[in-house]
């Protein structure tokens, strides 16, 4: 199971990289979102996917699934959401002020 | 302790100079400055007698004790001689500068601060027994020399000359530091004296040759040896007292000092002998040959200095041969003595010649030898001093240059007698080159004095009406000229007092004390020795060639400008400037995609490369969970979602594709028993997609042309490489788990110690609450930043709107 998910993570990372190397601002942000999904899945998989019960004490006698990666991912999800939201609004502003979302047209001022 | 402080006296005095200059306007600041080198010269004179008896003085001032770095003042024959030259000629130069520099027109406070700083630095160089402080003072001489050359900073030529000398000497200084560090690594001590004791063991060390070459690079750049001499002629843009002091008597001899000081360590090496002697003799010839070409008085003197430094350098190289002969051939013992003797002589006559060049410039308004002539009757004293200096430089009796030139020829003749290092075949070239170079030296010495003072007097060519210089300006060159003659008549007094202690410092293995040195200088050896015959030859050929000079001087113009070393230096600097600019423009394209491509490809290459180089890739199916059917379905859904994201023609489709990826990940969290994650993921994915749609909605009209992402092969290759890299690393890591999880502790204590049942939540707020605190902070900052980004811009826009 783990190997399958890790190959899937590889596919997600490849797709994310491809998107990040795009010309369009929106696609780059899409790429970062895909990359964070890949990272979260990777953390979960590396923690081990062996069947255990939901890590809730009252629900069963155990053994439980490893709870630590889940806590880490939860933190990571919130942080990546904050960053994605920020970058999206930044992109939105870039559209508004520059009138373009194309990286080839957003290269700063030419050298003096 | 006190002895160390002497080094710093000029530096401390330099602090007072600006105050004196500002507060006492009617007295030339130079008079106050004069007291400093004069006092120091008197102090160092008191050491002479004891040092001549073979005593050495040593004082230490800790600087960074934990690194064993201290300022050490070590006075033996060699460093005392240099200290006397620095303070003695320093006094004369300061006296000369009082009359040379106008107290109303010049920025005297700058001048004397730089000069005193230089004096301290130079004293530090010659007295330091510690490699690191030696380097410290060495670079201080480079910096103060840079400041002094650029003294008239409004002139382009001054700034260019200063920059050039800085680049070359500091470059060499850094090489020297490298050599010093290698010496420390080999010997384990910073002290030069201790390294000399260790010298026999150092020879076989693999770093020995490296440190030798690096150290010589430092010495050659500072002492203007071939091919690094090019900065010295350009440094002539400095005021003449500076040229006289730094660029003839002191700083350019720092390299000579370095070679002399390290001779006991490196002399056993064949490379040292060949490099020092060979480069020295080449510089001697090159400098004397091109001196005849110059038309600027200081230009002639600059090339002459280069040439004479080469002479001293070649003698020092020859003196290293004495380590290998066991005294079999006595004449080679002259080499070290001749080097030091000529160093003293050169300081006297070259100092006076520079001062005269300055006087001529000062009194006639030009230094161009083509405009000068017939000044003999107008400036009789200057003429006398020049004649003495030039004839000594040419090597004629009754001047001190004759004695050192004789000994030089003796040592060069002796070189061919040695049957090692290949001297038996190549050694014959040394006296021949030396002889030819001496002829050119003779020619330019005559050229200098006779083209300036005899011939037709042409007042209409001169910017000013010439007249004899004020007596104050002439005192210093007159003193030096007197020394030039005096040394000829009392060479053995000078030899016993100054030269022999220095020779003993250069060749400590040969002599136990200065008295052991059995060298007696004589102008006349009682018979026609080969070197005397050579001198007679020099005079005859020199006179003939000087008379015929107008016929052959034209050949210098035939030398193509493109092949000169100056041109090579300029081309190198320009080439570096343009070339490196081009290189950075090549990869600094300004496009973010290119930078990301560099980053991703190098990460993938490095990680995949090291995985296989280190043979770290492993793969095992052990400890893995079984694959279930609905997991496969989810994987397929996820792959389809990403494929939509990447292949979608419209951006809206891509955003929906991303949403599907997010929700599928949430489903993964469900089946892998992570309910909190699934909840969060669902909510956040919803908000994210909404935000994406917001950004999508506000796309500008222009760029709304919907198009599929164009396929690019390099992008695809890099992306696949990065994906493969992540999978390979993850599989290897997953297949070799070393230690079990620590989550057992959480499971066991979550209720008993933390009083909760949801392990994930208790970890978040109890066990690892700090993570959560700062994650909240991140969210807060992001919220504020978004608010600020929207609000602040809006406000400004509205304001400008109102203003309009």
Residue B713: the pLDDT is 86
Query: What CA–CA distance (Å, rounded) separates A29 from A87?
Result: 7
Query: What CA–CA distance (Å, rounded) separates A46 from B415?
Result: 77
**DSSP 8-state secondary structure symbol assigned to residue B57:** E
Provide the chain B residues 366-385 that lie in CB contact (below 8 A) with chain A. none
Q: Which of B631, B687, B759 has its CB closest to that of A67?
A: B759
Using CA atoms of B531, B536, B537, B538 in order, give the dihedral in degrees to the nearest 10. Answer: 90
The position carrying tokens 């002889």 is B435
Torsion sign across C-alpha atoms B295, B301, B304, B309:
negative
Distinct helix (H) and strand (E) counts, chain A: 3, 0
Residue B71: pLDDT band by 50, 70, 90 thresholds?
very high
**Contact flag A8-B638 (C-beta cutoff 8 Å):** yes
B592-747, which class in CATH?
A: mainly alpha
Residues B566-580: what's their mean pLDDT?
90
* B371 burial type by CB count under 10 A (0-12 exposed, 13-18 middle, 19+ buried): middle
CB B172, CB B232: distance < 8 Å: no
Chain A residue at shortest CA distance from B786: A86
B679-736 pLDDT tens trace: 999 999 999 999 888 877 776 654 455 556 667 888 899 999 999 999 999 988 888 7
Question: Which residues of chain B lie closer than 8 angstroms to A9, CB-CB?
Answer: 726-727, 730
Residue B794: pLDDT band by 50, 70, 90 thresholds?
low
B442-488 pLDDT tens trace: 999 998 888 888 888 777 777 777 777 788 888 999 999 999 999 88
Which token pair is B741?
């999880």
Whether residue B410 is predicted with pLDDT greater than 80 in this model: the reply is: yes
Chain B residue at shortest CA distance from A40: B665
**Contact flag B694-A88 (C-beta cutoff 8 Å):** yes
Distance, in angstroms, between B646 CA and closest chain A CA?
Answer: 7
Higher-pLDDT residue of B196, B618: B196
Mutate which of B589, B605, B671, B673 to test chain A, going by most A C-beta atoms within 10 A?
Answer: B673
Whether residue A78 is predicted with pLDDT greater than 60 in this model: the reply is: yes
Distance, in angstroms, between A70 CA and closest chain B CA?
Answer: 7
Q: Give the closest residue to B498 by CA, choosing from B389, B339, B306, B390.
A: B339
**Contact flag A1-B702 (C-beta cutoff 8 Å):** no
B40-57 pLDDT tens trace: 999 999 999 888 888 889
Residue B802: pLDDT band by 50, 70, 90 thresholds?
very low
B380-400 pLDDT tens trace: 888 999 999 999 998 888 888
Whether residue B801 is predicted with pLDDT greater than 60 in this model: the reply is: no
Residues B660-681: what's their mean pLDDT?
93
CB B165, CB B118: distance < 8 Å: no
B127-142 pLDDT tens trace: 999 999 999 999 999 9
Whether residue B328 is predicted with pLDDT greater than 60 in this model: the reply is: no
Query: What CA–CA distance (Å, rounded) separates B645 from B647?
Result: 6
* B559 burial type by CB count under 10 A (0-12 exposed, 13-18 middle, 19+ buried): exposed
Domain boundaries, chain B: 1-266, 269-547, 592-747, 748-804
B539-555 pLDDT tens trace: 899 898 888 888 877 77
Residues B580-598: what's their mean pLDDT?
88
E strand map for B105-258: none
Lowest average pLDDT, out of B105-114, B247-256, B529-538, B555-564, goes to: B555-564
Q: Which of A5, A15, A82 has its CB closest to that of B645?
A: A15
Mutate which of A77, A104, A106, A108 to test chain B, going by most B C-beta atoms within 10 A?
Answer: A77
Helix-helix angle B471-489:B334-364, to 10 degrees: 160
CB B261, CB B106: distance < 8 Å: no
DSSP string, B305-320: HHHHHHHHHHHHHHHH
Residues 6+ apart with CB under 8 A from B550: none
Residue B804: the pLDDT is 41
Mutate which of A4, A9, A11, A38 to test chain B, going by most B C-beta atoms within 10 A?
Answer: A11
C-alpha to C-alpha distances, B380 to B469, B580, B685, B731, nearest whole angstrom: 10, 56, 99, 95
**Contact flag A65-B764 (C-beta cutoff 8 Å):** no
Mean pLDDT, chain B, whole residue set: 87
Count residue pairs from A and B with Cβ separation < 8 A. Answer: 270
């Amino acid at each position: 199971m783990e190997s399958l998910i890790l190959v899937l993570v590889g596919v997600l990372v490849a797709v994310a990289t491809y998107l990040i190397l795009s010309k369009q601002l929106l696609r780059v942000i899409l790429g970062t979102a895909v990359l964070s999904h890949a990272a979260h899945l990777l953390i979960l998989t590396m923690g081990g996917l062996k069947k255990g019960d939901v890590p809730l004490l009252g629900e069963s006698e155990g053994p439980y699934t490893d709870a630590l990666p889940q806590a880490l991912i939860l933190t990571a999800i919130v942080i990546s959401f904050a960053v994605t939201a920020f970058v999206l609004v930044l992109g939105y502003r870039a559209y508004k002020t520059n009138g373009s979302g194309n990286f080839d047209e957003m290269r700063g001022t030419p050298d003096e | 302790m006190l002895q160390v402080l002497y080094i710093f006296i000029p530096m401390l005095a330099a602090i007072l100079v600006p105050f004196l200059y500002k507060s006492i306007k009617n007295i030339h600041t130079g008079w106050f400055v004069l007291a400093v080198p004069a006092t120091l010269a008197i102090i160092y004179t008191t050491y002479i007698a004891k040092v001549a008896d073979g005593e050495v003085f040593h004082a230490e001032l800790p600087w960074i004790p934990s690194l064993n770095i201290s300022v050490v003042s070590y006075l033996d024959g060699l460093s005392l001689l240099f200290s006397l030259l620095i303070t003695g000629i320093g006094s004369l130069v300061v006296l000369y500068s009082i009359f040379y520099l106008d107290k109303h027109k010049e920025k005297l406070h700058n001048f004397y601060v730089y000069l005193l700083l230089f004096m301290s630095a130079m004293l530090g160089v010659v007295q330091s027994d510690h490699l690191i402080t030696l380097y410290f003072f060495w670079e201080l001489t480079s910096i103060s020399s840079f400041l002094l050359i650029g003294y008239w900073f409004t002139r382009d030529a001054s700034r260019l000359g200063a920059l050039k000398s800085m680049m070359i000497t500091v470059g060499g200084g850094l090489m020297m530091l490298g050599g010093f560090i290698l010496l420390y690594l080999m010997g384990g001590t910073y002290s030069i004296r201790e390294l000399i004791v260790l010298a026999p063991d150092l020879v076989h060390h693999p770093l020995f040759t490296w440190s030798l070459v690096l150290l010589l690079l430092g010495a050659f750049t500072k002492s203007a040896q071939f091919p690094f001499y090019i900065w010295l002629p350009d440094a002539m843009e400095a005021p003449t007292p500076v040229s006289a002091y730094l660029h003839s008597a002191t700083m350019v001899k720092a390299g000579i000092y370095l070679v002399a000081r390290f001779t006991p360590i490196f002399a056993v090496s064949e490379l040292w002998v060949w490099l020092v002697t060979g480069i020295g003799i080449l510089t001697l010839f090159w400098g004397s040959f091109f001196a005849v070409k110059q038309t600027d008085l200081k230009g002639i003197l600059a090339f002459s200095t280069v040439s004479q430094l080469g002479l001293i350098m070649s003698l020092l190289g020859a003196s290293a041969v004495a380590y290998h002969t066991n005294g079999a051939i006595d004449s080679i013992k002259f080499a070290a003595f001749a080097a030091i003797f000529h160093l003293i002589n050169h300081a006297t006559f070259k100092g006076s010649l520079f001062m005269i060049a300055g006087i001529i410039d000062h009194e006639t308004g030009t230094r161009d030898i083509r405009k000068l002539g017939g000044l003999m009757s107008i400036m009789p004293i200057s003429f006398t001093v020049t004649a003495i200096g030039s004839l000594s430089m040419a090597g004629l009796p009754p001047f001190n240059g004759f004695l050192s030139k004789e000994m030089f020829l003796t040592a060069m003749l002796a070189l061919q007698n040695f049957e090692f290092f290949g001297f038996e075949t190549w050694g014959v070239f040394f006296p021949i080159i030396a002889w030819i170079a001496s002829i050119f030296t003779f020619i330019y010495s005559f050229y200098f004095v006779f083209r300036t003072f005899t011939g037709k007097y042409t007042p209409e060519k001169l910017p000013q009406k010439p007249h004899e210089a004020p007596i104050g300006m002439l005192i210093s060159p007159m003193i030096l000229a007197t020394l030039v003659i005096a040394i000829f008549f009392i060479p053995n007094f000078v030899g016993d007092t100054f030269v022999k202690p220095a020779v003993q410092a250069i060749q400590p293995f040969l002599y136990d004390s200065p008295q052991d040195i059995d060298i007696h200088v004589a102008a006349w050896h009682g018979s026609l020795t080969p070197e005397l015959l050579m001198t007679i030859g020099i005079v005859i050929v020199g006179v003939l060639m000087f008379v015929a000079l107008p016929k052959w001087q034209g050949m210098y113009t035939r030398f193509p400008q493109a092949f000169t070393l100056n041109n090579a230096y300029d081309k190198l600097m320009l080439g570096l400037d343009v070339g490196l600019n081009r290189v950075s423009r090549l990869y600094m394209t300004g496009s973010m995609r290119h930078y990301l491509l560099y980053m991703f490809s190098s990460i993938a290459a490095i990680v995949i490369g090291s995985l296989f180089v280190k043979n770290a890739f492993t793969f095992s199916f052990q400890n893995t969970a079984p694959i279930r059917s609905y997991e496969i379905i989810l994987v397929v859904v996820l792959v389809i979602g990403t494929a939509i994201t990447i292949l979608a023609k419209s951006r809206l489709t891509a955003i929906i594709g991303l949403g599907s990826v997010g929700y599928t990940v949430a489903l993964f969290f469900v089946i892998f028993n992570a309910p909190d994650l699934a909840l969060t993921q669902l909510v956040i994915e919803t908000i994210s997609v909404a935000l994406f749609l917001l950004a999508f909605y506000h796309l500008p009209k222009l760029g709304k042309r919907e198009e599929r992402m164009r396929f690019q092969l390099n992008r695809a290759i890099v992306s696949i490489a990065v994906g493969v890299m992540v999978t390979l690393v993850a599989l290897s890591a997953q297949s070799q788990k070393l230690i079990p999880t620590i989550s057992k502790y959480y499971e066991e204590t979550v209720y008993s110690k933390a009083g909760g049942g949801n392990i994930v939540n208790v970890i978040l707020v109890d066990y690892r609450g700090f993570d959560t605190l700062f994650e909240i902070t991140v969210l807060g900052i992001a919220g504020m930043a978004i608010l600020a980004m929207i609000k602040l811009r809006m406000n400004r826009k509205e304001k400008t709107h109102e203003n309009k």
